[in-house]
């Protein structure tokens, strides 16, 4: 699932509203995401009238100390949506680039559109985690589901999972998400990521809205197997999401950093590789530290635990003190059991 058969982190470039209302920019963005190293491009499938009402009262006016304050929901979504007639061409562009293309649907008709395009994955956006009928309909399609938890309580998450599993859909990934745009570092609480896995028994990841690339790297170190980040080909295009999206250069750096973090994490490993064996030459061992004659007693002056590691293991040190040398030895000679009277390892 999610292209993670090789256990690598699945990196999603979120197109969202970053197309300026121009399908050619959207297609350029998909191609740029491929160049930047993304595994997938994600759309959002809605129209303004499938996500909200065209009403100009205070209920529908944004007032959350955000970049969008003062705007009405309908007007914002009218500007931000990705036209449905673009979807097939965008899916084809992604396929030609070798990218997985999927989407967040916001109502049943969006799911139906995506099904007609044979979408391979569904994403439930943070604010839709309480839309149980939508989750049930998505889960009934039998595709892998990614669910963001930006506004969710434990009860919300449990109900969403129960709904999916009730449709015999168990291929679920939960994403830690901070639903601020941009999100502040102190509000990220990334330690929630491993707790999601322990508490709910799902795959885990991060939908990141911070500025920069640090949060995804930390998330990977905590076990995240999916990283989602808003992406645009050129910030000069502007738009509702531009202020917290990464451009191609920044996204490329994110991908490099995540891949490097994966390499660093590696696996649980206590085996002695050739590199480790070679490095053990710099460990301590027992050496003759001054010239000695046959029959001299071993003391703390004439035998020391020093680097490199060519002599006896230091664990034998106390057991050989007071024993006799079997031959004349020069300072700097690695000690062996044959050089010590009556000593066997």
Proportion of the chain above pLDDT 90, given as a percent:
83
- What is the per-residue pLDDT for 6? 60
Closest by alpha carbon to 105, among 93, 117, 92? 117
Between 80-84, 166-170, 173-177, the lowest mean confidence (pLDDT) is in 80-84
Checking if the pLDDT of 305 tops 90, the result is: yes
Q: Are strands 285-288 and 303-306 parallel, antiparallel or unpaired?
A: antiparallel
What's the pLDDT band for 157 if we cut at 50, 70, 90? very high
280 or 223, which is more confident: 223
What's the pLDDT band for 42 if we cut at 50, 70, 90? very high
Domain made up of 10-46+81-265: CATH architecture: Alpha-Beta Barrel (3.20)
What is the rounded CA–CA span in Å between residue 11 and residue 206?
Answer: 10
Q: Are strands 172-177 and 145-148 parallel, antiparallel or unpaired?
A: parallel
What is the rounded CA–CA span in Å between residue 250 and residue 215?
Answer: 13
Q: Which residue has the tokens 């009402």?
A: 53
Mean pLDDT throughout 124-153?
A: 97
Sign of the CA dihedral 68, 72, 73, 76?
Answer: negative
- What is the per-residue pLDDT for 4? 47
Give backbone dihedrals phi and psi of 334, rounded to 5 degrees, phi first: -65, 135
So where are the chain's domains?
10-46+81-265, 274-339
pTM (2 d.p.): 0.87
Render pLDDT for 199-257 as a digit per residue (tens, 0 to 9): 999 999 999 999 999 999 999 999 999 999 999 998 888 888 788 899 999 999 999 99
What's the pLDDT band for 8 if we cut at 50, 70, 90? very high
By three-state DSSP, how is residue 14 classified?
Answer: strand
Q: Which class would CATH give 274-339?
A: alpha beta
Average pLDDT, the chain: 94
Checking if the pLDDT of 2 tops 80, the result is: no
Mean pLDDT throughout 259-273?
A: 92
Structure-block tokens of residue 269? 């490993």
DSSP annotation string for 256-292: HHHHHHHHHH--------HHHHHHGGGS-EEEE-S-B
DSSP run (H or E) holding 254: helix 248-265
């Amino acid at each position: 699932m999610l292209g993670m058969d090789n256990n690598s982190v699945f990196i999603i470039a979120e197109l969202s509203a970053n197309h300026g209302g121009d399908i050619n920019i959207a297609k350029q963005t998909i191609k740029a995401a491929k160049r930047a190293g993304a595994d997938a491009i994600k759309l959002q499938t809605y129209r303004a009238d499938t996500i909200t009402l065209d009403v100009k009262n205070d209920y529908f006016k944004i007032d959350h100390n955000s970049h969008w304050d003062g705007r009405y929901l309908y007007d914002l979504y009218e500007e931000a949506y990705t036209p449905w007639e673009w979807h097939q061409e965008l899916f084809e562009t992604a396929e030609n680039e070798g990218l997985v293309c999927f989407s967040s649907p916001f109502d049943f008709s969006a799911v139906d559109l995506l099904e007609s395009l044979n979408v391979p994955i569904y994403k439930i956006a943070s604010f839709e985690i309480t839309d149980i009928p939508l989750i049930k309909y998505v889960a009934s399609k039998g595709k892998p589901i990614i669910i963001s938890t930006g506004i969710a309580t434990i009860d919300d998450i449990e109900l969403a999972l129960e709904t999916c599993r009730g449709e015999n859909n168990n291929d679920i990934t939960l994403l830690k998400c901070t639903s601020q745009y941009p999100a502040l570092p102190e509000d990220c609480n990334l330690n929630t990521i491993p707790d999601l896995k322990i508490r709910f028994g799902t795959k885990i990841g991060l939908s990141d809205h911070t500025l920069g690339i640090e949060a995804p790297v930390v998330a990977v170190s905590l076990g995240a197997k999916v990283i989602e980040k808003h992406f645009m080909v050129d910030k000069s295009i502007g738009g509702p999401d531009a202020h917290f999206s990464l451009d191609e250069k920044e996204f490329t750096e994110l991908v490099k950093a995540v891949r490097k973090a994966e390499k660093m994490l590696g696996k649980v490993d206590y085996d002695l590789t050739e590199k480790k064996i070679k490095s053990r030459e710099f460990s301590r061992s027992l050496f003759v530290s001054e010239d000695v004659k046959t029959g001299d007693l071993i003391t703390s002056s004439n035998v020391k635990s020093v680097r490199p590691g060519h002599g006896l293991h230091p664990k034998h040190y106390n057991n050989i003190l007071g024993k006799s040398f079997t031959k004349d030895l020069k300072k700097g000679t690695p000690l062996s059991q044959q050089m010590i009277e009556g000593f066997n390892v």
